[in-house]
Amino acid sequence: MPHAKGHPLFKHNSFRIRLALWFGGLSLFTLLSVGIYAGWLTATQIKVTAGEAVHANAMAAAELLGANLYEREMDIALVSQAPHFVRGDLSDPDVLSSLDRRLDMRNEFAWLGVVDAEGTVIQATNNMLVGQSVAQRPWFIAGLQGVYSGDVHEALLLAKLLPNPHADEPLRFIDFAAPIHNREGKLVGVVAAHAHWNWVTETVQAVANRREHASDSEVLIVSSTGNVLYPQALAGVSRLPDNLPHNKHYSIVTWDDGRDYLTSQVTVDARSNSNFGWRIVVRQPLENALAPIYAMYSRFFILALIAVLLFSLLAWRLAQTISKPIEQLAAAARCIKLNTSAPRYPTDTSLSEVAQLSSAMQSMTESLLTRERELELLNQTLEQQVLQRTEALAAANKLLEHLATIDPLTGTNNRRRFDEKLEDCARMGKRTGRGFSILLLDADHFKKVNDNYGHPVGDAVLQQIATLITNNTRTTDFVARYGGEEFVVILPDAPSETEVRTVAEKIRTAIEGTPFPSVGHMTMSIGSSTWHPNDSSTTQVIQRADEALYTAKASGRNRVVAYGQQ
């Protein structure tokens, strides 16, 4: 029995494997395509539903808050027109009784009082601030002119006199005021009220909590400048995003905490003379809104995986009925090819085409086996002879090419190969008009290396220098040993003076900064020149580079000198 890994059943390109993979892949593609499209439609609808719910929350909260603010403003306006107010005697006990009744009826009020025309508090609930001057307060100044509603603020005097049920938050209030005129129409004072800020926040939060999808939604009150007024945890920390559109019921925006939210904003219309510019903003984390679609995706992927497995098993069983006799024929063919044992052909197949193929193979096998063995022996002999001669010829050609073009010590191109390359570059330059540059490099004080350390060390130094030059040139550059301790580099494709100097300095710096075993440090003098199309021969560019190299040597060595810049 063949090893499991070599059995056709386990080969990745077998018919049954391919059919199972095709069925599984096709079913997976179909299910994923349908699932992704259905998920996209569902996610879109969920976003619309959640977005509209968020907008409905914001709209309901804004409408209720606007109505309540307007109602409180009208309430103060009606108080200012009550008979015992218009009589003009602000110290009348009936005035205080009226204020106390209002305070008992409206628990949103923290303080109510009447102030004379000069700004002195005449009477007030719980006798707070009585006798004090409020002439500079904005609500008093505005209340002299007409019915007034003021933005949220902290009242330091009242904060000291009133209990604070929320110790972690400062007491904040909203002002309402209206002028008091006597029966003759003369202004005699102002009636004012401070409403708790908590009344505002509880109003909008109660609306949001009564509506659907509010469990993970957050209600914010935002000022006209975009600063968050409520909740307190975000006040002074978070701002309304600047890119929130005003012409949409809702949108998906990224807030300053980096998270995406379904967000809706509605302006509070208090229908009053004093427009606060407040906006009710309701936001819901996008991941919470899409949580149902994520759960649906998880269940869908599990069902898709089960379906793929079932389809694959079905395809496997179908392919097995077809592939088994074919695999038996393939096994018989392998036996014939390898001549390991007598081939066995399928006998119980129900496929007529396979039965005909099996019969033909059996009749053909007997006539081919003998002739195939003879041909195989002859071919083996001929192939072996051809292979031996081909390998010997290839090795000889490779050795000849190596000896003809490669410097045996450094492994770089030799002088002969350099001369050929130089002529090629010159011919190419004359055709294209694009010149080239060369670098002529000479190891400084190399003779001392041979004299002091011997030629083997000198040869090792040259080999290391050749490696450094090769590693610090471009892939298009040509490096060759020019002779002795001299090397040459061809820089093709008309490099600029800056590029030439950059390559030369890179080589010089690499050699200067690299330690050499037994020797320590070496330096390199480099001369460069550029080939001109009017040069009569390539020796001229060599001569110019040599003159530049001589100047580098005479100038103290370990430097790069370009011809014409001596």
Residues assigned a catalytic role:
485
Quote the CA–CA distance of 242 and 223 in Å, as a whole number.
13
Q: How far is CA 130 from the centre of its chain?
A: 64
Contact 441, 487 (CB under 8 A): yes
Quote the CA–CA distance of 483 and 546 in Å, as a whole number.
13
The angle that helices 197-210 and 15-79 make with each other, rounded to 10 degrees, is: 140
Largest CA distance in the chain: 139
The token duo for 242 is 């600047």
283 pairs with which residues across the strands? Answer: 218, 263
Give one DSSP letter per residue of 504-543, joined into a string. Answer: HHHHHHHHHTSEETTTEE--EEEEEEE--TT-SSTHHHHH
Quote the CA–CA distance of 66 and 76 in Å, as a whole number.
16
The token duo for 208 is 């949001």
Task: Return the SS3 of 49.
Answer: helix
* Extended strands (E) in 99-204: 109-116, 121-124, 148-149, 153-154, 172-181, 187-196
Q: Residues of 46-69 as b/e, b for ≥16 C-beta within 10 angstroms?
A: bbeebbbbbbbbbbbbbebbbebb
Closest C-alpha to 80, from 189, 6, 158: 189
Give, in order, the Cα–Cα distances in Å from 193 to each of 150, 199, 297, 335: 10, 13, 56, 106
Q: How far is CA 350 from the centre of its chain?
A: 59
Task: Return the SS3 of 329.
Answer: helix
Residue appearing with tokens 């009710």: 280
Quote the CA–CA distance of 286 and 291 in Å, as a whole number.
8
Give one DSSP letter per residue of 214-275, joined into a string. Answer: -TT-EEEEE-TTSBEEESTTTTTT-B--TT--SSSS-EEEE-TTS-EEEEEEEE----SSS-
The token duo for 151 is 């933005």
Evaluate the omega torsion of the peptide bond into residue 231 and state whether it is cis, within 30 degrees of 0: yes
The token duo for 48 is 């619309």
CB count in 10 Å sphere of residue 104: 10
Quote the CA–CA distance of 159 and 142 in Å, as a whole number.
22
